[in-house]
Structure 1
Amino acid sequence: MQDRESGWTYREFLQALKECSPYDFSEYSDNSISRRIQKVMQDNNLTMEELIYRIRTNTQFVEQVVEAITVNTTELFRDPEVWQYILHKLLPHFSSYKKINIWHAGCSTGQEVYSLMVLLDHLNLLDKADIYATDISRNAIENAKKGVFRYSFNYINYNRNFKAVFGENDAPDFRKYFTCNEGKDTISVVPEFLNKVKYIRHDLVSTKLPFYNRFDLIFCRNVIIYFNPSLQSKIIQMFHNQLFPGSSLILGSHETISGFMNTKFTKNGPVYTRTNAFHFKY
């Protein structure tokens, strides 16, 4: 992967970024990272050489680049069949627990976090939940904390997903959980949800975990698909270490656990369960 005009390669860009910041994207998949770097170059009208120079001389620009290359799309109840499984098959298992530890890794702007909170509330489990949500993007974390989404682009799809999860005739009112203001073009999460989540900026790849907790549920959907196989294995191993035995990891619909780590989980529907053991209902 080389910039035709300057001869500088994407790998040289990644090395410069690693040297000048805490971020290491060297184990992201080539296709995903190259497309995003190309877009940064186009948006800023820079050659690769100029981009690398800016990285080495402008720390504020480094943050702008990181935000640009870590943007991921998300939505409320994305892949409704996954959330149906979580609602009907997975979450009822926690009815006898006194506390449920949950981590959303790579939470983006929070739609997945609030999707799960709706299900937890519907099953009267939300008060038991201790919820952490992390993402590398500062902007994503700040937007997630606000819990406000665009109405015009999202309402029809979000409401359709919502009804698909619960069933057309059984779904609670969408507006029980989200305040919709078409005039202001906003969908706002109800205030009582906002203070329930501990949002933390965190880089899965190169930063130590910001907590010592082990978890009953870890969500990391549509994140590791952007990593190369080696990094995927490292991240899955880390998730395995953070899960209680018998607890569950939920990945994206097109993500799988392969290689040696596959022997440490059993798969049921979209859920990977850490094998071997018993979890005390503390």
Structure 2
Amino acid sequence: MSLTAHIPSHRKPRRSAAKSALRAGVAGGVLSTIAVAGAAAPANAAEPVTETTLQMPTLSATQVAAATEQAAADIQQQAQQDAAAQDAAKAAKKAKAEAVHKAEAKKKAEAAAKAKAAAEAKAKAAAAERASRSATRTTLKAVSVSSSQATGSAAAIVSFVTSHLGDAYVMGGTGSNSWDCSGLVQAAYKSIGVDLPRVSQGQSTAGTQVSLGNLQPGDILYWGSAGSAYHVAIYVGGGQFIGAQNPSSGVVEHPLSYDQPTGAVRVL
């Protein structure tokens, strides 16, 4: 065996013929492309190339600051307008609520004033009516019945009904200060010891029938037919009678012409 048989060789290995041919072909193709481009360049160089350039406006620092300041002012103004609108809406709502409250208070005050005025008017009317009855009663009590008009029992009956002028009329009332028509007549005769029927129908036939042109004090006057009369009173002389007339007037004195009776009876 040779001494150099196991020493590796420092020579580069030869490239294969195939790889060399491939590389040569690539290089040739590149050179051909360059050659074609070089030939075409003069022809294309004759054609002018037009380029369009869009130039953006250039803003200075002052302009940018002014624009920023204007935008801030616009925002602030809008905020102020919005705040003013909200304040106006709140004020309008508050004003409306106050107006409603005032209207309700005024309505209540007017109603209270009307109620007070009505109560005062009613009280005055009642006081005037009481005063009128009292005055009438006092005046009539002061007037004595002359002996030519009534004497004895008749005078006592006249005195009794006169003393109750101004008393109230109450349906079914028999005294001592409230009467209906027949209750007053019955009490007047009872004061002299004479008992009469309780109701006007019976009282209209309790004595002797007399004409209205021949009346004497103490006679019982009646309205309606005898036996079915609906109202009675006492003749007191001088063309006057006293009776419990109705709830609005109570016990009063009237002339015969006020309400002409139908007939009369004499018990005494």
Q: Could you say which TM-score interval applies, normalised by the shorter chain? A: under 0.3
Q: Which has the higher contact order (CA 8 A, sep 6+)?
A: 1
Q: TM-score, normalised by structure 2?
A: 0.23
Higher helix share goes to which structure? 2
Radius of gyration: which is bigger? Answer: 2
Q: TM-score, normalised by structure 1?
A: 0.22
Higher strand share goes to which structure? 1
